[in-house]
Amino acid sequence: MKTILKLLLIPSLAASGQVKSNDRIDSTTRSLPSPVVDSVQKKSSSKTTAKSSDTGAQRPLVLKKSGFSATFGYDSDISYKQNPLGAPGVLDQQADAVWVNKFHGMAKLGVYDLDSSVLTPFVGGAWSMTDYTYQNSNEIVSDLSVLNHNTTIAYLLFLLQHESGWSFRSGVMYSNDRSTENDTEEYMEFYPSVGATKAYSLLDNLLGVFDASFGYHYGEIEAITSDHTKDELDHMDATLSYSLIYSFESFSVTPNYSISYRKYDNGINLNRSDILHNLGLKANYPISESFELVLHSSYSKRLSDGNEKDGTPYSIMDFKKFDIGAGLSLTASF
């Protein structure tokens, strides 16, 4: 019943977008980066053919240089999103054009040989601005710009790459969403996680990338009513994903599928579990060595299971999302 009340969008809260903001945060996927996956994708989108040594079989591309190195970048992306807030209901609700601008950086703090493995620590962070453009006077939230927000991310990551080609990572990430409209913190979390990656050549111009991760989100969100708690979005997640990276002349095309299991333990989400499917397609075209055009599309589906104490099924939280967009990426390495 508490979940039903939330879905009814209590007028006094919905008018300010607070309930919708909680839906957006609940449906957002946050994860530590995988330096190996990022490196393989960057190598494949350059105008060279991927080789087995780039996948981790010996000393992977990301670790070819010893000592300190850093990468900084700026991304600008515009997407058409159906159900951009991840709210339960029909797919095309409040379909919107969403503009995201992001500054990001990562530094490698040395390379340490450990017999058959190589250990590398990383630190990194990002700051992004998300702007919604949807307006419809017939909706309870008539102007989605009240949900515009900035996101800050910082992380520490340790990457261990074995001569077999398997890569293992462990780290912790801090994430914070802050309302642009009200200049208030909407959500914050700490996310410790571990992961494993295996990249391998299928053909001269085709790579397969398997990735698995496990972690726990310790978050804090504003309680929108007395029935809600600040830790209600805390959850464990486990994710498996598989990507194919196909390189053709100057292009690289990457289809990807991932499946995530999430288990919640607190507040109105006690005993709730989710299965999240995501199917994506991305195409990269390097305009220059540091400048890239990116086209992307994805479809997501969430299936929630379990019941509240009063018997209300969490399946009413199921949603579908679809987006398609394009962006430009500028990167500099030192």
Place 38 in a pLDDT band, splitting at 50, 70 and 90: confident
Contact 254, 279 (CB under 8 A): no
pLDDT, position 104: 96
**pLDDT greater than 70 at residue 291:** yes
Residue 59 CB-density burial (10 A; 0-12 exposed, 13-18 middle, 19+ buried)? middle
CA distance 124 to 146: 29
**Element containing residue 328 per DSSP (H, E):** strand 319-333
Closest CA to 56 of 165, 214, 177: 165
Place 275 in a pLDDT band, splitting at 50, 70 and 90: very high
**pLDDT greater than 70 at residue 87:** yes
Mean pLDDT of 31-56: 62
Burial 1-34 (b: 16+ CB within 10 A, else e): ebbeebeebeeebeeebbbbbbbbbbbeebbbbb
Place 226 in a pLDDT band, splitting at 50, 70 and 90: low
Mean pLDDT of 33-39: 80
Mean pLDDT of 236-245: 96
pLDDT, position 134: 78
pLDDT, position 141: 67
**pLDDT greater than 90 at residue 98:** yes
β-pair partners for 313: 307
In 10 A of CB 173, how many CB atoms?
A: 22
Contact 172, 155 (CB under 8 A): yes
Mean pLDDT of 149-155: 96
pLDDT, position 297: 97
**pLDDT greater than 70 at residue 34:** yes
**Element containing residue 13 per DSSP (H, E):** helix 11-14
Q: Which two tokens stand for residue 259?
A: 């499946």
pLDDT, position 140: 63
Per-position DSSP letters for 311-325, written without gaps between them: --BGGGG-EEEEEEE
Domain count, the chain: 1
pLDDT, position 292: 93
**pLDDT greater than 60 at residue 18:** no
Q: Which amino acid is at 161?
A: Q
Residue range of the domain that includes 159: 2-333
Reported as half-sphere exposure (CB side, CA atoms, 13 A), residue 60 has a value of: 33
pLDDT, position 21: 67
The runs of H, that is alpha helices, within 15-77 are 18-27, 35-45
What average pLDDT is seen over the chain? 83
Pairing of strands 96-109, 112-114: unpaired
Of the chain, the percentage scoring pLDDT greater than 90 comes to 51
Q: Calculate the CA dihedral of residues 39, 40, 43, 44 and round it to 10 degrees.
A: -150
**pLDDT greater than 60 at residue 10:** no
Of the chain, the percentage scoring pLDDT greater than 70 comes to 82
**pLDDT greater than 70 at residue 65:** no
Sign of the torsion angle spanned by Cα atoms 24, 29, 35, 37: negative
CA distance 54 to 174: 30
CA distance 29 to 86: 11
Mean pLDDT of 258-286: 93
Mean pLDDT of 182-199: 93
Question: Can you give the CATH number for the domain in which 183 is found?
Answer: 2.40.128.130
Mean pLDDT of 125-154: 86
Q: Is the pTM of this model over 0.95?
A: no
**pLDDT greater than 80 at residue 279:** yes
Q: Which two tokens stand for residue 179?
A: 């309302």
**pLDDT greater than 50 at residue 56:** no
